Structure 1
Amino acid sequence: MELNAWALVAVGLVGAATFYLGQHSSRMANSTHDFLLARRAVRSQRNAAAISGEYLSAASFLGIAGVVLKDGADALWYPIGFAAGFLALMLFVAAPLRRSGAYTLPDFMEGRLAASRPIRGFASFVVVLIGVLYLVPQLQGAGLAFATVLPAPVWVGATVVALVVMVNVVAGGMRSITVVQAFQYWLKLFAISLPAFVLGAVFVGGAAGPHSGGLDAQAPPVFPERTTVEIETPVVLQVDEATLLHADGVVNGAPAEGEVFWSAEVSHEVDAGTTLRFDAGAPVPSVEGSVPDNASWLVPGSDGAGGLVGTYSLMLALFLGTMGLPHILVRFYTNPDGKAARRTTVHVLLLLGLFYLFPTMLGALSRMYVPELLVTGETDAAVLLLPSAMLPGVAGQVLAAVIFAGAFAAFLAACSGLVFSVAGVVATDLLPGRVRDFRVASVLTAVIPLALAVALRPTDLTLSIGMAFALAASTFCPLLVLGIWWRGLTARGALLGMLAGGGLVLAAFGLTLAAGYTGGSVPVLVQQPALVSVPVAFLVMIIASKATQRAVPPGVGALMLGMHAPDPLGFVQDREIPRFGRAEERLRFSKRRHDER
């Protein structure tokens, strides 16, 4: 990969701005309450920008365009689901959760259900698990982005992001992260919209380079010129029509050197290290399971009943999973009251809807100008390679650097929120609970996913994130909905429901992961298990709670009143931050404040 000096400048500027804003804001954190919750006084507009910056992760910035490139109209459900999840959160959870006065999800579970320490510990384990499932693809996406734009190994990008995140989280706390993530939302919006407008104008004006043909063509896309593709990870490819190509490496388990004929009736296995060369006008092979021809690419639901079931399962995971993501919910604890929490969610819907217009457009252009990504399967790199494909030269490199800056900001924002939320749970439930324990937990929460990101085989970012959404939808979503709206929920019912729903998702994830290594295939409800796991979790929680009604906490009526009563009535009683705020911590913050004066 040729060095893009503009991309190096972009990384430096984003890193410097992130570090400056984080350090400057951290000086205002004068108490533990400020460090962890920003005094519960973050304005709705800033909180909405911070939530949007945190939520627009690698799956949104890189993955949406990649899935649109590969799957076409069916992929549009991803941005719809990502945004629509906040509608469910606004209707059912945002305001009551803020009025509960809780600090974390395990804290809410303990307060609402009078749960024992083991049950709270299980909830903490689920928080950590969701955080790791979400963090690993973020770091893998960072590695892919760096390797695509710069001549660097994949682990370099993941390490850089993890180090910057650790510095900001350890030093600044919630106030610092809020300012940084709000800034990063606007940076990401600029970094995705400017290239979209420029490349759209270039395409309409006819000044772009050669492309693979119009998207309205019935046949699959074709290579506009003689193209060489290096296969870095093993892939299984399919062709829509008989294809003649040149191969140098291992194809279908046998050495290949020279011309190879591929039939459309069977799939073709290509090993890592193989070089494929295609003549101009040759049809583009695609990774098995993707949409091969443009006619099917334009039509939603073209893969039959199985695809429809998978789409419904995906939508359920995205729609309900948002309200169970710990790093998103922790932001609502920073609002002054329930009304502000609901108003924040409305602003988030607007900001997300605006952003998702642009990666969809770039994904469609990518199918015409970088079709070779369909061969390697690395479709998440589409938005990074598209500018240079459409605008060779300095102009394309500058646009690629702008996009890379936005992608870098996406990794930093999402990882910062995840590390902060998971570290808060680890510090309060597994460590003594001082601020320095929170910082130790932050380091562990960043280092462990980093090791997994380097060791595990990368998959499509949106698919990996989809599994994290499914786990959140099958565990914390039923807990929150029933805990907020049904007084009959018991601690044992909540525990059994989370075990049932979460167990199904983890089993599905294990099977999908194993299939990726063995080359096998799994049913659609294993790839997207939410359509089964979410109803099972709700059902088990209700049945088990009905069977243990004597265990309903005696003070649940007062707590339910506090969650649903209007804010001006004054029923909200913020719970104490668990085990934080000890005398030595207050003294240390007070001394720091005095020294700064």
Structure 2
Amino acid sequence: MNPVFDLIAVGLLVVATAVMGFAGVRVSRTTGDFFVASRSVRPVWNASAISGEYLSAGTFLGLAGLVLLSGSEGFWFPIGYAAGYLLVLLFVAAPLRRSGAYTIPDFVQARLRSLAARRITSIVVLVIGWLYIVPQMHGAALSLGVVAGMPRWAGAVVIAVLVAAIVAAGGMRAITAVQAMQYWIKLTALALPAIVMLIVLFGADTRIDPAEAFPVEAGPAGTDAYATLSLLFALLLGTIGLPHVLVRFYTSPNGASARHTTVLVIVMIGLFYAASSTMGLIARVVAPEMAEAGLADTVVLALPTKVLPGLAGQLLTALIVAGAFAAFLGTASGLVVSLAGVVSQELFGGTVRGFRISAVLCTLVPLVWSLITIGEGLVSSVGTVFVFAASSLTPVILLGVWWSRLTARGAIAGMLVGAASCGGALIAFRIVGPDHGLWSSLLAQPGAWTIPLSALAVVVVSLLDRRRRPPSEGFLSRLQRPDPAPRGMGGRD
């Protein structure tokens, strides 16, 4: 493998990201610019940006590796990831935009009028964000190590420096342009090589026995029913609890635009998952040995040169490497901009200067953690974040929008119970291990019981709370009311 083309591709991506990011600095002046891009991002642009930040290292590299390892079981991840946006569309996209908030803690405080609930929400949001950023940095370290033999810290540092600089300089307005560009780079970086390799393989005699490429034990017959259903449940609900996803709906001009954006997101990420899953299927045919060698997360980087030895394979590999770094940058920048908004409001009064300081701090913490830990499977790492978000934050957001009897104490109880039960289960699984049957499944994929437990805690504590405070006058009706008749593309809120 020739690292020259790969390093050139990464360099070009970094330059393009820096140019677009710092170009946004010229129009980023106000608090609204930094936090929510002045609520002026139109559906196609916003959908591209959401897709650019949502499609992370776990999707770009890890999904194909998971399909290589587990066959049809791996397809539950893209199904859950994409279907989660249906729930966002139905239940929270427009209401969150109508709330007028800048961040999730803003929404919780406006809904519950509780400083304590706001602070607990801020902590949960930070934990979710940092858990999600770390796999992006591990993925960057892995990619540069594979293609260029660079030390494992190099990729993480490159991502951290670039993300912190762009977010601190231009905030949400600058990041929106960067993420939108990166979505189309990522889609091209997987779809084009996949199409080329399919064309080449279609005319080749691979002589691969289908029973060998797709063994029964890797198909539905070998699937743990509880673990699969629990995982799908967590993926469906986890999207609602991801702060970097939800904050983007605050950038839409109105509720109708937020819903339109969500529909476009479902289409865009569906196209990407089709390309990523296809790469996994190709890997099962041409590179099954990489699964046994423990190299599943890097199989996407190796496929082009296996199918097309020579210059063509090297150029396609360089394109994939650029796409991988676009995935790391897009997701990490979206997470940092959402977390910086929270930290800035909690610690620095919500000023532009405070936002910039917060952006650096919110990048530094996961960078340090990524440097002292060793990355595991990228898809499983991201899946853990979805389970935690669904258990700790999703019930509060859903009930905050649609249940008038929710109280601050109920919300706090739900977040604490969800976070403690989910975090405890995942830690216990590390101790118990995978060889204890149903107990291991219950701990490895706890969403099926931690999410209902959290929701139950919210409801029970809220109903028992004798110092219940009703929602502020008109707030719930503003969240739930239908949008006015559209004018052109969307109505006004």
Q: Same fold (TM over 0.5)?
A: yes
Q: How does 1:409-448 map to 2 (within 5 A)?
A: 409-448=326-365
Task: Write out per-residue CA displacement over residues 249-282 of structure 1, whole angstroms, 9 at most, x where no aligned residue.
Answer: xxxxxxxxxxxxxxxxxxxxxxxxxxxxxxxxxx
Note if contact 2:63-2:276 (Cα within 8 Å) is conserved in structure 1: yes
Q: How does 1:24-43 map to 2 (within 5 A)?
A: 24-43=23-42
Instruction: Report the Cα distance in structure 1 between the residues aligned to 2:105 and 2:352, rounded to whole angstroms.
Output: 18
Note if contact 1:11-1:405 (Cα within 8 Å) is conserved in structure 2: yes
Instruction: Report the Cα distance in structure 2 between the residues aligned to 1:432 and 1:133, rounded to whole angstroms.
Output: 25
Note if contact 1:100-1:573 (Cα within 8 Å) is conserved in structure 2: no
Q: Give the counterpart letter for 1:405 in structure 2.
A: A
Matched with 1:397 is 314
TM-fit CA distance, 1:514: 4.8
TM-fit CA distance, 1:215: 5.3
TM-fit CA distance, 1:459: 1.0
Distance 1:67 1:109, change over 3 A: same
Matched with 1:329 is 246
Q: Give the counterpart letter for 2:204 in structure 1.
A: G
Task: Write out per-residue CA displacement over residues 67-108 of structure 1, whole angstroms, 9 at most, x where no aligned residue.
Answer: 000000011000111100000000011111111111111111
Instruction: Report the Cα distance in structure 2 between the residues aligned to 1:144 and 1:157, rounded to whole angstroms.
Output: 8
1:551 is paired with a residue of what secondary structure?
Answer: coil
Matched with 2:465 is 548
TM-fit CA distance, 1:548: 1.0
Matched with 2:217 is 296
1:475 paired to 2:392: yes
Matched with 1:584 is none
Instruction: Report the Cα distance in structure 1 between the residues aligned to 2:304 and 2:432, rounded to whole angstroms.
Output: 34
Distance 1:554 1:168, change over 3 A: closer
- Please identify, of 156-165 and 361-370, the stretch whose mean Cα deviation from structure 2 is larger: 361-370
Matched with 1:564 is 480
1:95 paired to 2:94: yes
Q: How does 1:49-68 map to 2 (within 5 A)?
A: 49-68=48-67
TM-fit CA distance, 1:295: 2.9
1:101 is paired with a residue of what secondary structure?
Answer: coil
Task: Write out per-residue CA displacement over residues 114-144 of structure 1, whole angstroms, 9 at most, x where no aligned residue.
Answer: 11x2321111000000011101111101111
Instruction: Report the Cα distance in structure 2 between the residues aligned to 1:301 and 1:165, rounded to whole angstroms.
Output: 43
TM-fit CA distance, 1:392: 1.5
Matched with 1:72 is 71
Matched with 1:309 is 226
Instruction: Report the Cα distance in structure 1 between the residues aligned to 2:180 and 2:168, rounded to whole angstroms.
Output: 18
1:358 paired to 2:357: no
Residue among 209, 214, 218 paired with 2:208? 214
Note if contact 1:64-1:462 (Cα within 8 Å) is conserved in structure 2: yes
Distance 1:6 1:554, change over 3 A: closer
* Structure with greater helix share of residues: 2
Distance 1:515 1:169, change over 3 A: farther
Note if contact 2:117-2:411 (Cα within 8 Å) is conserved in structure 1: no
Task: Write out per-residue CA displacement over residues 328-350 of structure 1, whole angstroms, 9 at most, x where no aligned residue.
Answer: 10000001111111111001001
1:523 is paired with a residue of what secondary structure?
Answer: helix
2:406 is paired with a residue of what secondary structure?
Answer: coil
Instruction: Report the Cα distance in structure 2 between the residues aligned to 1:30 and 1:554, rounded to whole angstroms.
Output: 34
Task: Write out per-residue CA displacement over residues 387-413 of structure 1, whole angstroms, 9 at most, x where no aligned residue.
Answer: 111112211111111111100100000
Matched with 1:461 is 378
Instruction: Report the Cα distance in structure 1 between the residues aligned to 2:436 and 2:381, rounded to whole angstroms.
Output: 18
Residue among 145, 148, 151 paired with 1:150? 148
Distance 1:373 1:343, change over 3 A: same
Instruction: Report the Cα distance in structure 2 between the residues aligned to 1:482 and 1:390, rounded to whole angstroms.
Output: 51
Instruction: Report the Cα distance in structure 1 between the residues aligned to 2:103 and 2:289, rounded to whole angstroms.
Output: 45
Instruction: Report the Cα distance in structure 1 between the residues aligned to 2:463 and 2:221, rounded to whole angstroms.
Output: 40
Instruction: Say how many residue pairs are matched.
Output: 488
Note if contact 2:402-2:480 (Cα within 8 Å) is conserved in structure 1: no
Matched with 2:180 is 182
Two-structure CA RMSD over aligned residues (Å):
2.1
Matched with 1:248 is none
Give the gaps of 5 or more residues in structure 1. 222-292, 575-597
Give the gaps of 5 or more residues in structure 2. 486-490
Distance 1:554 1:92, change over 3 A: closer
Distance 1:565 1:91, change over 3 A: same
Matched with 1:118 is 116
Note if contact 1:474-1:501 (Cα within 8 Å) is conserved in structure 2: yes
- Please identify, of 388-397 and 103-112, the stretch whose mean Cα deviation from structure 2 is larger: 388-397
Distance 1:425 1:519, change over 3 A: farther
Structure with max Cα Rg: 1
Q: Give the counterpart letter for 1:14 in structure 2.
A: L
Instruction: Report the Cα distance in structure 1 between the residues aligned to 2:13 and 2:406, rounded to whole angstroms.
Output: 46
Query: Structure 1 residue runs of 4+, over 4 Å off?
Result: 513-516, 518-522
Note if contact 1:98-1:338 (Cα within 8 Å) is conserved in structure 2: yes
Task: Write out per-residue CA displacement over residues 193-217 of structure 1, whole angstroms, 9 at most, x where no aligned residue.
Answer: 000000111111118xxx6x52512
* Structure with greater strand share of residues: 1
1:27 is paired with a residue of what secondary structure?
Answer: helix
Note if contact 1:488-1:549 (Cα within 8 Å) is conserved in structure 2: no
Give the alignment's TM-score, normalised by structure 2: 0.95
Instruction: Report the Cα distance in structure 1 between the residues aligned to 2:341 and 2:425, rounded to whole angstroms.
Output: 28
Q: Give the counterpart letter for 1:185 in structure 2.
A: Y
Q: Give the counterpart letter for 1:27 in structure 2.
A: R
Matched with 1:107 is 106
TM-fit CA distance, 1:515: 6.1
1:93 is paired with a residue of what secondary structure?
Answer: helix
Residue among 526, 545, 556 paired with 2:443? 526
Distance 1:554 1:489, change over 3 A: closer
1:537 is paired with a residue of what secondary structure?
Answer: helix
Matched with 2:488 is none
Task: Write out per-residue CA displacement over residues 472-495 of structure 1, whole angstroms, 9 at most, x where no aligned residue.
Answer: 111221011111111000000111
2:389 is paired with a residue of what secondary structure?
Answer: helix
Matched with 2:292 is 375
Identity %: 46
Q: Give the counterpart letter for 2:369 in structure 1.
A: L
Residue among 148, 160, 164 paired with 1:166? 164
Note if contact 2:68-2:280 (Cα within 8 Å) is conserved in structure 1: yes
TM-fit CA distance, 1:369: 2.1
Instruction: Report the Cα distance in structure 1 between the residues aligned to 2:443 and 2:432, rounded to whole angstroms.
Output: 11
Note if contact 2:432-2:440 (Cα within 8 Å) is conserved in structure 1: no
2:210 is paired with a residue of what secondary structure?
Answer: coil
Matched with 2:139 is 141
TM-fit CA distance, 1:301: 4.1
TM-fit CA distance, 1:552: 2.6
TM-fit CA distance, 1:375: 2.4
TM-fit CA distance, 1:573: 12
Matched with 1:277 is none
TM-fit CA distance, 1:7: 0.5
Give the alignment's TM-score, normalised by structure 1: 0.79
Q: Give the counterpart letter for 2:208 in structure 1.
A: G
